Structure 1
């Protein structure tokens, strides 16, 4: 296992495979870097070096009690990039991971980064406010945190199927995928699972979009009930000059698995352009 240590002493677990131009894959809440297995295989086969890592508080990384703001999480990402001395890299952020992409670009610039990808991302701002009236009410986020505190495992067991658009009438992934995803989510610390709800739900990343001065690809599912594109990617596409926006008809939030072939094809096409 490979680890780096952040400036505040947290150990981050990462995997670094393949050769070629680097692609850093940033996972979503509440999973781990292992969620990217279909993308890792496709990218390595296509001739890229692929780096995945577990965000602090998740997976095999250290589990501090607090310290889960996007500034801290982005400093962790910068530590990883600097430690591996990556240049000409592409950052790919899924869901919550899109926030790290945005905040990294605004805090650290594009010296080491060539391209950016936002996949079913929460960028630019989810919370309903006076100047974001179409956002998610704070009461919804509070309800998620209360459910996690009451019974984290019951919450995850019910959340994971909706993540993939699974229901009693529609089976979008196998039971094995649901079990795998549940297992990954259970690896997170309780505090990280709770605190990160405010991070991805309440952080206003609209000012960070000014830093997207590089080629950007945005992919989202039209049937994403967890992060509806109207609240997120459609707005990001309007605010990022020259961004390529593709919406997958009928895809739910977990399109990295349910629509893996299409995601991989679009990703590799974008990387090779």
Structure 2
């Protein structure tokens, strides 16, 4: 099984990854609280189009190891950097979904763009989730505190319902996903480290990336659904598009947060077109 080891971390961390295809490397960073498996509908398309596709499990999730501490974004970006250095990737494209957008921006902040050709932010939390006086469209802090409380009290119960909101799922309304997909997501999320699930949630809830948008100096694709009830477009993609100079901003009409599953054809078309530019 392929692992890279981040021995520079406070606690040694083993990151599991999958590496398919050849050509320009495309690195996929998954969202919270899932794993690399959430990219199922993108991996095959990226490889089929002639690219090398690398997806990995964030520390604490999937098959990667689960340290007790160090789930801030700089720690997470250090795992990405170790992957890029160990595989000696150059001219790479980093694609971050939801929470993964934070790793993209923090990587560019901490390590620069020498090895990076482009980046993509898909349903990303960038630049800020939390509501503040200067970010009125954000999620109120008491709602974020409620998520942490629910995870501490009944993590499995919370995750069971969370995935429904991920896809704007309502029973008997002609869904674009199946109950089996919800069950699959629940299985992945529930087997993640409880500690990592909470600590990474705190990271995406409270990290303000607005000062770091200036560090995104490579061509950037921003894709968001206008029906995203998990990460509101006003506080995320629209602000990211205003703060990142060289970007292409695409809105998928009617798409929820988990548009990589509900709208794979639309997302894949946008992503492949961006890769080929």
| TM-score, normalized by the shorter chain, greater than 0.5 | yes
Corresponding residue of 2:93: 90
Q: So what's the TM-score if we normalise by structure 1? A: 0.98
Q: Look up the SS of the partner of 2:234 in the other structure.
A: helix
Report the Cα offset of residue 132 of structure 1: 2.2
1:82-102 deviations in whole A, cap 9, x for unaligned?
A: 010000000000000000000
Is the 8 Å Cα contact of residues 141 and 197 (structure 1) preserved in structure 2? no
CA–CA distance in 2 between the matches of 1:149 and 1:181?
Answer: 19
Q: Look up the SS of the partner of 1:118 in the other structure.
A: strand
Report the Cα offset of residue 169 of structure 1: 4.5
Q: Does 1:200 align with 2:204?
A: yes
CA–CA distance in 1 between the matches of 2:146 and 2:170?
Answer: 21
Corresponding residue of 2:267: 263
Is the 8 Å Cα contact of residues 60 and 196 (structure 2) preserved in structure 1? yes
Report the Cα offset of residue 155 of structure 1: 0.5
In the alignment, structure 1 segments of 5+ residues that lack a partner are none
Is the 8 Å Cα contact of residues 19 and 48 (structure 1) preserved in structure 2? yes
Report the Cα offset of residue 66 of structure 1: 1.9
Corresponding residue of 2:5: 5
Corresponding residue of 2:126: 123
| Aligned with residue 20 of structure 1, among 15, 23, 29 | 23
CA–CA distance in 1 between the matches of 2:76 and 2:40?
Answer: 22
* Cα RMSD, aligned residues only: 0.9
Q: Does 1:102 align with 2:81?
A: no
Q: Look up the SS of the partner of 1:80 in the other structure.
A: helix
Q: Does 1:113 align with 2:111?
A: no
CA–CA distance in 1 between the matches of 2:125 and 2:181?
Answer: 23
1:88-134 deviations in whole A, cap 9, x for unaligned?
A: 00000000000000011111111000001000000001112233233
1:124-170 deviations in whole A, cap 9, x for unaligned?
A: 01112233233211111110011111111111111111111111343
| Aligned with residue 36 of structure 2, among 33, 41, 61 | 33
Greater shift, 232-241 or 2-11, is seen at 2-11
Greater shift, 202-211 or 161-170, is seen at 161-170
1:206-236 deviations in whole A, cap 9, x for unaligned?
A: 1111111111000000000000111101100
Is the 8 Å Cα contact of residues 137 and 232 (structure 2) preserved in structure 1? no
CA–CA distance in 2 between the matches of 1:131 and 1:255?
Answer: 28
Report the Cα offset of residue 172 of structure 1: 2.8
Q: How many aligned positions are there?
A: 273
Is the 8 Å Cα contact of residues 127 and 138 (structure 1) preserved in structure 2? yes
In the alignment, structure 2 segments of 5+ residues that lack a partner are none
Greater shift, 40-49 or 125-134, is seen at 125-134
Q: So what's the TM-score if we normalise by structure 2? A: 0.96
CA–CA distance in 1 between the matches of 2:40 and 2:166?
Answer: 17
Corresponding residue of 1:149: 152
Q: Look up the SS of the partner of 2:130 in the other structure.
A: coil
